[in-house]
Amino acid sequence: MGDTMNELRMYVEHLFEGKVMTAELIELKEEIYGNLMARYEDLVASGIDAAQALEEAKQSISSVDELLSGDGSQEADSSNQSGATSADEDMKGPSAPVLPQPETVTTKASTTVKAHKKLLLVLAGVLLVVMIGIPLIGVAMGAILFDNVTDGDISVNHDGTSLSVGKQGVQIQDNDDAIVVSPDGTVRIDGDPADDLLNMVVEAEPPNAYMGTSISDSSTLSALVSSLPLGEWSTQVDTSQERGILTLRYGSVLDAYDSEFIDAALVYDATAIFACMPEVQQIQMSLSESDETANVDRYDFSRAMLEEQYSQKLNGDVLNYDTWKALKTEHLYQGGFVEGILDAADRD
Amino acid sequence: MATSKDVTSDLIRGNIDAIILCVLADGDSYGYEILKCVAHKSLGDYEMKEPSLYTSLKRLEKSSLVESYWGDETQGARRKYYRVTQAGLDELEQATERWREVRDIIDRLLETTAPAKSAATDGGHHE
């Protein structure tokens, strides 16, 4: 079921690729996703096999272009015309036949925008190739790659590799621990394939079911902690310290996974908890290896520090699909983000 | 007259708003469910396309003939529900009346006493 949700999510994302997302479109996207899931489930319930059902669901809507134009009263596309809408045509009286209206073509605007976007992408691609080509040739000829330039005149960030062109030349920076999700859904961290834990973080939907959980509501709190990546290894959830502090212990997790995967999950979990629990100001996490308490990693996350890193408040407002996804792609996945936070939070 | 599904769909499409208002008059519903309802009610003869549905709902909501609200599904896909307003019900009544009048007019205009070409050669009344 998770796979299907993922596939349908990606399909809907694809439908809206390149569109300027207004609040209205964000809602429409959510609505379309909900209906596609309902259709898929219905098909499967009627006996159709999962893969086939998925295909049919996708086929029920192949483009959202016709839904995008202004007031909706003059739409054109071969499969839909507004015709004589009940709302618009009221004064024609009994003598007006309800016949299909001639089609009006209003797609020119969206086609032009699309063409411009394509052109822009091609140009950006050419620029990137040229920019990478030049320093590579320089290296081949024994030339020196210029040293770190932090302010460039032009700067491109592509999938965790950043390129800046400044007064002093060209710089390519491959950021460590940057998380990259390719269009087909494969996840890599710093070039290496992700494992289950990191995939869980990437696929995790905003935990909005837990929005507004109170620190004194221990059963819901436990459920929240268990539902997050790393939840399986939770051994203790404590709120008995002074108000606003949450203490979480995880056991055996250091055995199961490499630290880079755990690091991302730690920051993700802290983010999720702050967003869901407005009363929590600080989260203390400790991770141990097997049952030994000797090797323990301890972290102290403060709400203020995390909110500063994300440049936004962590509360119920971020728990919708789009904002949550933006938190991940624009911050969590960026090289150095997770590392930076853990460095600040490290209590060892 | 050709009776392919496309032509039929085209002719029905002019009434799409009223059709949706009618479904909602029976109770609040959401996108996919509305489509299912229409397919079922038409005994399988008409399947509304999903894009057409969204366009129509947007129109109806803009004219305040329906209102929308989000369901409270706590996991996975949330659904957007629609409820018909009083104005919507009034409009439905008027649209239905208009359709009936138009249907009668067209019926009359398309009526003919001339026999179909494939009838008996005596050119008289054909059974």
Asked casually if ipTM beats, i.e. exceeds, 0.90, the reply is no
* Contact by Cβ (8 Å): B37, A42: no
The parent domain of residue B36 ranges over 10-109
Examine residue B123 and state whether it is found in any structural domain, yes or no: no
Q: How many independent structural domains does chain A possess?
A: 3
Examine residue A163 and state whether it is found in any structural domain, yes or no: yes
Examine residue A155 and state whether it is found in any structural domain, yes or no: yes
* Tokens standing for residue A125: 């691609």
DSSP state of A210: G
Examine residue A150 and state whether it is found in any structural domain, yes or no: yes
Between A67 and B92, the more confident residue is B92
Rounded-to-integer distance, Cα A241 and Cα B47, Å: 60
Examine residue B90 and state whether it is found in any structural domain, yes or no: yes
Which class for A262: exposed (0-12), middle (13-18), buried (19 or more C-beta within 10 A)? buried
Specify whether A22 is located in the same domain as A120.
no
The closest alpha carbon to A245, from A277, A208, A275, belongs to A277
Does B105 sit within 8 Å of A94, measured CB to CB? yes
Examine residue A179 and state whether it is found in any structural domain, yes or no: no
Does A94 sit within 8 Å of B77, measured CB to CB? no
Rg (CA), chain A: 25
Examine residue B56 and state whether it is found in any structural domain, yes or no: yes
Examine residue B70 and state whether it is found in any structural domain, yes or no: yes
Does A28 sit within 8 Å of B54, measured CB to CB? yes
Examine residue A187 and state whether it is found in any structural domain, yes or no: no
pLDDT digits (tens, 9 = 90+) for A55-77: 999 999 999 998 886 544 444 44
Rounded-to-integer distance, Cα A163 and Cα A5, Å: 35
pLDDT (tens, 9 = 90+) of chain A, 348 residues, equals: 567 778 999 999 999 999 999 999 999 999 999 999 999 999 999 999 999 999 999 999 999 998 886 544 444 443 434 444 433 333 334 444 444 444 444 455 555 566 676 777 777 777 777 777 676 665 656 545 554 444 556 666 665 566 666 665 565 655 566 788 777 777 888 778 778 788 888 888 888 778 878 888 888 888 888 888 888 888 888 887 667 888 888 877 767 777 777 888 888 888 988 888 888 888 888 887 665 566 778 888 888 888 888 888 888 888 888 888 888 888 888 888 888 888 888 876
Specify whether A142 is located in the same domain as A220.
no
Alpha-carbon separation of residue A92 from A144, B15, B20 (angstroms): 78, 15, 21
* Contact by Cβ (8 Å): B48, B84: no
What one-letter code names the amino acid at A299? Y
Specify whether A167 is located in the same domain as A199.
no
Examine residue A252 and state whether it is found in any structural domain, yes or no: yes
Q: Could you tell me whether strands A296-302 and A282-288 are parallel, antiparallel, or unpaired per DSSP bridges?
A: antiparallel
Q: Average the pLDDT over each of A130-144, A267-281, B40-54, B71-85 and give the range with the smallest value.
A: A130-144
* Contact by Cβ (8 Å): B89, B24: no
Residues 6+ apart with CB under 8 A from B81: B28, B29, B30, B68, B69, B70, B71
The parent domain of residue A36 ranges over 2-80
pLDDT score recorded for residue A40: 95
Q: How many independent structural domains does chain B possess?
A: 1
Specify whether A12 is located in the same domain as A124.
no
Q: Could you tell me whether strands A187-189 and A192-193 are parallel, antiparallel, or unpaired per DSSP bridges?
A: antiparallel
**C-alpha distance from A26 to closest chain B C-alpha (Å):** 12
Rounded-to-integer distance, Cα A245 and Cα A45, Å: 46
* Contact by Cβ (8 Å): A83, A75: no
Specify whether A156 is located in the same domain as A232.
no
What one-letter code names the amino acid at A238? D
Q: What integer best gives the mean pLDDT of chain B?
A: 88
Between A260 and B32, the more confident residue is B32
B41: domain CATH number is 1.10.10.10
Q: Which residues 307-346 of A have a C-beta within 8 angstroms of B?
A: none
Which class for A346: exposed (0-12), middle (13-18), buried (19 or more C-beta within 10 A)? exposed
Examine residue B37 and state whether it is found in any structural domain, yes or no: yes
pLDDT score recorded for residue A156: 65
Helix or strand (DSSP H, E) at A314? none
DSSP state of A289: S
* Contact by Cβ (8 Å): A338, A306: no
* Tokens standing for residue A286: 């400790």
DSSP state of A331: I
pLDDT digits (tens, 9 = 90+) for A231-262: 888 888 888 766 788 888 887 776 777 777 78
Specify whether A293 is located in the same domain as A218.
yes
**C-alpha distance from B122 to closest chain A C-alpha (Å):** 36
Examine residue A16 and state whether it is found in any structural domain, yes or no: yes
Examine residue A18 and state whether it is found in any structural domain, yes or no: yes
Categorize the per-residue pLDDT at B58 as very low, low, confident or very high, splitting at 50, 70 and 90: very high
Among A80, A101, A117, the domain boundary falls at A80
Cβ count near A89 (within 10 Å): 16
Alpha-carbon separation of residue B9 from B45, B58, B104 (angstroms): 9, 20, 20
Query: Least CB-CB distance to A80: which of B52, B71, B78?
Result: B52
Specify whether A154 is located in the same domain as A201.
no
Q: Tell me whether A63 touches chain B (CB under 8 Å).
A: yes
Examine residue B127 and state whether it is found in any structural domain, yes or no: no
Angle value at C-alpha A130, between A129 and A134, nearest 5 degrees? 120
Examine residue B34 and state whether it is found in any structural domain, yes or no: yes
**C-alpha distance from B60 to closest chain A C-alpha (Å):** 8
Examine residue B28 and state whether it is found in any structural domain, yes or no: yes
Test the B interface: residue of A33, A40, A86 with most B CBs within 10 Å: A86
